[in-house]
A and B are shown apart, each in its own frame.
Chain A
């Protein structure tokens, strides 16, 4: 069974829905967005991820029309949208605070945008009912926003922003106000709705788990620049920089000097009097170049005895164990003082664990487990 993989960004014939071309946005002396170029394709669920103040909200507000770029070009379906006010764009936004109109009922909130067009009353009513059904709010149509729960308010905000069937829906930290359990359920609901309606979603979030769960592609931002754009697994398994590797998930970074050792293989001299690590890399490194080996804790094996066939193995002692229930993270201190994090799934009960504090152990991993990064 072969299913066509959704990856319009790999198809050079595909026209992007949104094009940012060298867009810069300045607030006085402060540069919020710095020379940004980016394509977002139709039906994508695109996540902008970054720490607060990285410019992700500014980018979203430019798409909505609340801010205009200082320089550069912004296109929506091939048309330049810089300078077009928010009410004239086929773009709707779901606000972080939801921004529901407190004086209007749930029904009237959802109908608000529809009434601004030239739709007749019956068509509006039908569309509102459809939205209420989609977001499972039919029972609450007559209530005011302050009479419903936080999760229901979130759904009203979503229904209201989807009602006009926008080409592009912007979601500003849409799940930020919900508790963890509800947030996880809502993430899948959002994905279902996105797939069902075929709308392009751009979501702003600082929660990497949320971005990884919902998005078709993730853009990691920092200080007004996009550091990397890739699919969630691409971002996680093949980060392009130490910043991205460190920002997404947990990672061990080992700095050393690279030395080519045959096709795509390098030796990393990371400490004196230690065996160099072997790692593969698609990106070439020159002899003597500084490199960082980024390796995820779950890809590191921890054993009491030296494994026979591992490419890389190094001895250390267990400094600390973080027990997370499903997982345990071991902090192993090497002879040189470096700390390596190794993670194992707790498939056994805690009482039968074979490794404990102060134990001498071996940590090992294969040559392909990590990524070599220049910076």
Chain B
């Protein structure tokens, strides 16, 4: 009887091990291994070979390890292009996040307050852009924002302006692109938080002496806080490493680390330096990712 029980427990343990092993295995194969490959390349030197760096595994493990150094990381500190690009990326990501929040919150609020039968349609409209390729949608903005674009033509036609506005190839265009692209990621978590909000809480606040505005700040905002935080991270994290939007809409004046990374890899073919840039970018991103995870966890705890 006891032996049977033990065998049963063994089977349970196997199952539990398997259940845990699958996601960890996935993480190991698709995140940690690539990261270590990139990290390894970042410790190598540039070489005119295929692949364009050395040492490689072919030289033998011992030889390879002894040839590693942090030269590329030191190089990043000597050229101010890199830290300026990091700082500029942080700034653009931060401002874009705030802009997306300012645009997204009222939209989420309106969705949550809309009549019940409208909500699925409104939700659909928010998700609809994902049905088209991201690249095509960013290209469409070129058509809208360029000097002969729809926006300028419309404004000239109405007579509001008499010379076309230069928006294309400026940082403004990058902001527009990022806010447009990541807006759904801001709207959806905030909408989810507002949708759960009990209407009688607002009435209770009013009953206890709050004006409508005051009730909004004291009750609605704090109760949608988790949605706001989640939305901000979901915009900030991808915006920080964004490459397509600044390279299509931004000009030479828009410095973003994603673009620098791309140029190191494909224009300069300097894989080791590009890898070092990527490793640093990842380290910068780890902080907000951990904060985001903690927020999600706390939210899950408060709901139980």
**B211 proximal to A (CB < 8 A):** yes
Answer whether A64 and B207 are a contact pair too, CB < 8 Å, given A95-B200, A99-B198, A101-B201: yes
Contacts of B204 in A (CB 8 A): 93, 95, 99, 101
Contacts of B124 in A (CB 8 A): none
**A51 proximal to B (CB < 8 A):** no
**B71 proximal to A (CB < 8 A):** no
Shortest distance in angstroms between B206's beta carbon and chain A's nearest beta carbon? Answer: 5
Contacts of A117 in B (CB 8 A): 209
Contact A164 B209 (CB under 8 A): yes
Contacts of B210 in A (CB 8 A): 87, 116
Contacts of B219 in A (CB 8 A): 101
**A160 proximal to B (CB < 8 A):** yes
Shortest distance in angstroms between A107's beta carbon and chain B's nearest beta carbon? Answer: 15
Contact A92 B200 (CB under 8 A): no
Q: How far is the CA of A20 from the CA of B208 in the complex (A)?
A: 23
Contacts of A146 in B (CB 8 A): 302
Q: Mark B195-225, 1 if CB is under 8 A from A, else 0.
A: 0001011011111111100100011001101
Answer whether A92 and B208 are a contact pair too, CB < 8 Å, given A66-B203, A99-B203, A101-B219: yes
Answer whether A164 and B208 are a contact pair too, CB < 8 Å, given A95-B200, A97-B198: yes
Q: How far is the CA of A66 from the CA of B211 in the complex (A)?
A: 13
Answer whether A102 and B211 are a contact pair too, CB < 8 Å, given A86-B206, A87-B206, A97-B200: no
CB closest chain-A residue, reference B214: A116
**Which size bracket describes the interface of B in this complex?**
10 to 19
Max chain B Cβ within 10 angstroms of own Cβ: one of A99, A102, A117, A146: A99
Q: How far is the CA of A96 from the CA of B223 in the complex (A)?
A: 20
Q: Mark B208-252, 1 if CB is under 8 A from A, else 0.
A: 111100100011001101000000000000000000000000000
Chain B interface main SS type: helix
Contact of A112 among B203, B205, B302 (CB under 8 A): B205
Q: How far is the CA of A8 from the CA of B136 in the complex (A)?
A: 77
CB closest chain-A residue, reference B215: A87
Shortest distance in angstroms between A83's beta carbon and chain B's nearest beta carbon? Answer: 15
Contacts of B203 in A (CB 8 A): 64, 66, 86, 93, 95, 99
Q: How far is the CA of A64 from the CA of B222 in the complex (A)?
A: 25
Contact B207 A87 (CB under 8 A): yes
Contacts of A103 in B (CB 8 A): 222-223, 225
Shortest distance in angstroms between B199's beta carbon and chain A's nearest beta carbon? Answer: 9
Max chain A Cβ within 10 angstroms of own Cβ: one of B205, B207, B211, B223: B207
Contacts of A198 in B (CB 8 A): none
Contacts of A113 in B (CB 8 A): 208-209
CB closest chain-A residue, reference B225: A103
CB closest chain-A residue, reference B222: A103
CB closest chain-A residue, reference B304: A146
Contacts of B302 in A (CB 8 A): 146
Interface residues of B in 175-207 (CB under 8 A from A): 198, 200-201, 203-207
Q: How far is the CA of A101 from the CA of B200 in the complex (A)?
A: 10
Q: How far is the CA of A197 from the CA of B208 in the complex (A)?
A: 18
9 cross-chain CB contacts under 8 A: A64-B207, A66-B203, A86-B207, A87-B208, A91-B207, A93-B207, A101-B205, A112-B208, A113-B209
